[in-house]
Amino acid sequence: MTLAHVIGYPRIGADRELKRATEAYWQGGLDRQALEATGRELRLANWAAQREAGLDLVTVGDFAFYDQVLDVSVLLGAVPARFGAEEEVARGEVSLDTAFRMARGRAPSGEPAAACEMTKYFDTNYHYLVPELHAGQTFRLASRRLFDQVDEARDAGYPVKVALTGPLTWLWLGKGRGEAREDFDRLSLLDGVLDVYAEVLERLAGQGVEWVQLDEPALVQDLPLAWRQAFERAYHRLQAAPVKLLLASPFGGLGDNLSLAVGLPVDGLHIDVVRAPAQLEAVLDRLLPHKVLSVGAIDGRNVWRADLALWRERLATARMRLGERLWIATNCSLLHVPVDLAAETTLDDELRSWLAFARQKLDETATLARLLDGRAGAADRDRVEAASRALQSRREAPRLQRPEVAERLAGVTADDTRRRSPFAERAVAQQRHLALPLFPTTTIGSFPQTAEIRADRRAFKAGELSREAYEARMREEIARVVARQEALGIDMPVHGEPERNDMVEYFGEQLDGYAFTRFGWVQSYGTRCVKPPILFGDVVRPAAMTVRWSEYAQSLTDRPMKGMLTGPVTLLQWSFVRDDQPRETTCRQIALALRDEVVDLEAAGIRAIQIDEPALREGLPLRRAEWQGYLDWAVACFRLAASGVRDETQIHTHMCYSEFNDIIASIAALDADVITIETSRSAMELLDAFQDFAYPNAIGPGVYDIHSPNIPEVAWMVALMEKAAERIPVERLWVNPDCGLKTRGWAEVEPALANMVEAARELRRRHG
Ligand code: GLN
Ligand code: ZN
């Protein structure tokens, strides 16, 4: 019998119950017992769903109140000293509040302390808490949580498989505090970590657990030799554990780590054949005859319904060769997709029929396993047929194919991705057109989204406020924001984006080819969930999207109003994207739609247009060898969007991350006239990028961190710009905050910008 399981399941609940309970607990509205009870209910419901779907094992260990990587840190007793938890660690029971303090700096009990760093998990939009490591660190089993959950599942009568981040990936994700990853030999800690893992496995065996899945996505990245050797060492050591180990490699192909992974002394290997279908055969050829192969065929990273008939065919050989040693699974944890499609009552039936969320993917996984065994029941056969019909309808749906889009894309030439003249000439034309002072000041786009703005939008969406009334309110807000910027003396004002709920949703709602769910929440970090739109069809812009707002804002001032758009790569990256054509093609379609918007803005008299690309860097593939291929098309898409304008129209872009250095050449290749960037780390670090690389165009290194409520001082900002001036000619420097201001209040924004303008004046006095 082919065994069916999933790598993990979303823990937030179909209605984000976990978020509500956790936040209520933080705010004192719920006690710890009640929070724990919510956690238990969610786990039991998730296991029940897995069994109901017909999975053979339920996954235990994928639940976390905040983050599963944090929970492993806690399990290993890796709690940084500043949280004062020595006694809890020694007792073997780190409290929930200590974990919350590590995650967010504070909790209902315990002293506040600086939270651990958080960053994106592999190439997902999920954020984990970075394990904090230091030389000589010791580890000890410091939590009972996992074992309690195993008991919980066994008491409820479920067949348990435990899932846990593997020791190498946990170390791989960790770093020395205040140090760069490279500077610290994390592997020096491996033996200590393995001692605890061995103890954990021993305990699990004692609880009657047969299989433990160790997630090692580090295996789909480029690994230095020492790390490959460490894999060997670690798994030889863990081989002695009295449980069976399933080594899981989600998020891509094993590539040059394939021999390593196949050769490790474990009882089973899990591979991702959605992202890397070709590796199936290579693994089949090399798998030792006693090992289980878990094939991840159901996509945990996207929302499309699986082609079950096709997978049955594709996996028939594997079934024949492996017999009962074949397992069927999702390629990765379902954490990355929304919980249940059943809740989406407002999507039209056709579109709905194309989709599968986590709950539906459980059914797909179980059905596929039964299909391969030839033990499919009537319900399975119906499911396969329904899937085939849905896929057929998706392939043929007229609303997916807009022939005019393909035609237009086919006609795109290299000239369309090039501005008419090189930057040096454009800069002259722009200076004539814009008449800006030295060190011009601007902001990144949004101004505070006040309670009134949000209340107006809610009322509008609920039908309590007419469109006319809503838009009139937004215009009033724009007028206020423009007047404030004039009073402050901002050289290039913005309209403030009050009309935008979200920088992706706002554009998606106005473009054909996008759909929106009501409850399609996915955990981004902790209790924060996002609801990515679904990009299902060819992208068409039926009408201008932002022009009337920018035009109105420009009518209120003589200063050059900056238009504000979200870039093609970001619109792609922050959506669930169709899988029936290359992402590159979809991105180019978006770029063409944006290009029209850019040209329309110019025609409406907007002299500067910012195209935000905060997601450009996070789209980087996990393997270095694939970086350039991605960067080439991503840059081309940006340029396609940006290059329809005359020389004198100034194109800006904005990015929010400071790991700038390794892709600086591609950022330069965007050929934006001005780039404004985040510098939330130190100013020096950002500027390091310019040491070896002469950035050719203008740049606004954010002079203050908008994530902090502190008012930046004039002298501090001047000093920062002086540092920038050592690397970049002053004629090419702009003065601006490091990101949008929508999360701040006016009480902070006004004095901060006043100081920023003062700093620019001081710089002009010095350099003018
Ligand atoms: N223009 C956007 C804003 O100011 C940019 C947001 C972002 O950088 N993520 O809000
Ligand atoms: Zn930003």
Summarised one tens digit per residue, pLDDT across range 106-142 is 999 999 999 998 889 999 999 999 999 999 999 999 9
List, for residues 151-177, the tens digit of each pLDDT value.
Answer: 999 999 999 999 999 999 999 999 886
Given a cut of 70, whether residue 292 has pLDDT beyond it is yes
pTM: 0.94
Given a cut of 60, whether residue 42 has pLDDT beyond it is yes
Note the pLDDT of residue 338: 98
Atom 10 of ligand 1 has which residue's CA nearest to it?
Answer: 740
Q: Give the 3-state secondary structure of residue 268.
A: strand
Q: Measure CA 308 to chain center.
A: 28
List, for residues 63-72, the tens digit of each pLDDT value.
Answer: 999 999 999 9
Note the pLDDT of residue 377: 95
Tell me, in angstroms, the distance from the centre of ligand 2 to residue 427's CA. Answer: 24
- Residue 281 main-chain phi, psi, to 5 deg: -65, -40
Does 707 participate in catalysis according to the annotation? yes
Atom 9 of ligand 1 has which residue's CA nearest to it?
Answer: 614
Note the pLDDT of residue 658: 60
List, for residues 531-583, the tens digit of each pLDDT value.
Answer: 999 999 999 999 999 999 999 999 999 999 999 999 999 999 999 999 999 99
Note the pLDDT of residue 178: 59
Tell me, in angstroms, the distance from the centre of ligand 2 to residue 460's CA. Answer: 27
Q: Quickly state the pLDDT bin for 489 (edges 50, 70, 90).
A: very high
Given a cut of 80, whether residue 687 has pLDDT beyond it is no
134 appears as a binding residue in the annotation: no
Residue with tokens 């238009």: 563
404 appears as a binding residue in the annotation: no
- Please state, in angstroms and rounded to a whole number, the distance separating the CA atoms of residues 635 and 652: 14
Atom 3 of ligand 1 has which residue's CA nearest to it?
Answer: 740
- Please state, in angstroms and rounded to a whole number, the distance separating the CA atoms of residues 586 and 579: 10
Note the pLDDT of residue 656: 83
Angle at 309 between CA 306 and CA 314, to 5 degrees: 90
Tell me, in angstroms, the distance from the centre of ligand 2 to residue 757's CA. Answer: 20
Note the pLDDT of residue 768: 85
List, for residues 611-661, the tens digit of each pLDDT value.
Answer: 999 999 989 999 999 999 999 999 999 999 999 999 999 999 999 866 778
Please tell me the number of the ligand nearest to residue 500's CA: 1
- Please state, in angstroms and rounded to a whole number, the distance separating the CA atoms of residues 206 and 201: 9
Given a cut of 60, whether residue 179 has pLDDT beyond it is no
Tell me, in angstroms, the distance from the centre of ligand 2 to residue 525's CA. Answer: 18
Closest ligand 1 atom number to CA of residue 564:
1
Q: Which of 500, 654, 705 to mutate to test the pocket of ligand 1 (most atoms within 8 A of CB)?
A: 654
Q: Which of 442, 444, 569, 610 to mutate to test the pocket of ligand 1 (most atoms within 8 A of CB)?
A: 444
332 appears as a binding residue in the annotation: no
17 vs 709 pLDDT, higher one: 17
Note the pLDDT of residue 683: 58
In our burial notation (b when 16+ CB lie closer than 10 A, e otherwise), range 660-699 reads beebbebbbbbbbbbbbbbbbeebeebbbbbeeeebebbb
- E strands, 237-355, in order: 244-249, 268-272, 292-298, 326-330
Tell me, in angstroms, the distance from the centre of ligand 1 to residue 739's CA. Answer: 6
- Please state, in angstroms and rounded to a whole number, the distance separating the CA atoms of residues 363 and 359: 7
Angle at 469 between CA 463 and CA 472, to 5 degrees: 140
529 appears as a binding residue in the annotation: yes
Q: At what angle do helices 17-26 and 32-53 cross, to 10 degrees?
A: 170
Note the pLDDT of residue 689: 78
Q: Which of 444, 452, 447 is nearest to 746 (CA)?
A: 447
Q: Which of 44, 317, 21 is nearest to 157 (CA)?
A: 44
pLDDT over 70 percentage in the chain = 98
pLDDT over 90 percentage in the chain = 92
Q: Quickly state the pLDDT bin for 429 (edges 50, 70, 90).
A: very high
Q: Which of 503, 530, 658 to mutate to test the pocket of ligand 1 (most atoms within 8 A of CB)?
A: 503
Q: Give the 3-state secondary structure of residue 328.
A: strand
Using CA atoms, how far residue 377 sits from 4, 205, 371, in Å, is 16, 35, 9
Please tell me the number of the ligand nearest to residue 565's CA: 1
Lowest average pLDDT, out of 130-144, 249-263, 373-387, 705-719, goes to: 705-719
Among residues 134, 270, 707, 767, which one is catalytic?
707
Q: Quickly state the pLDDT bin for 181 (edges 50, 70, 90).
A: low
Q: Which of 190, 161, 175 is nearest to 129 (CA)?
A: 175
Closest ligand 1 atom number to CA of residue 655:
8
Tell me, in angstroms, the distance from the centre of ligand 2 to residue 442's CA. Answer: 13
Angle at 465 between CA 464 and CA 471, to 5 degrees: 160
- The set of protein residues with a Cβ atom below 6 angstroms from ligand 1 is 444-446, 497, 503, 564, 612, 614, 654, 656, 739-740, 742
Q: Which of 552, 636, 548, 536 is nearest to 595 (CA)?
A: 636
Given a cut of 60, whether residue 684 has pLDDT beyond it is no
Query: CB atoms < 10 A from the CB of 27, how many?
Result: 9
List, for residues 724-752, the tens digit of each pLDDT value.
Answer: 999 899 999 999 999 999 989 999 999 99
- Please state, in angstroms and rounded to a whole number, the distance separating the CA atoms of residues 456 and 724: 41
Q: Is 79 exposed, middle or buried (0-12, 13-18, 19+ CB in 10 A)?
A: buried
In our burial notation (b when 16+ CB lie closer than 10 A, e otherwise), range 580-601 reads eeebbebbbbbbbbbbbbbbbb
In our burial notation (b when 16+ CB lie closer than 10 A, e otherwise), range 434-459 reads bebeebbbbbbbbbbbeeebeebbee
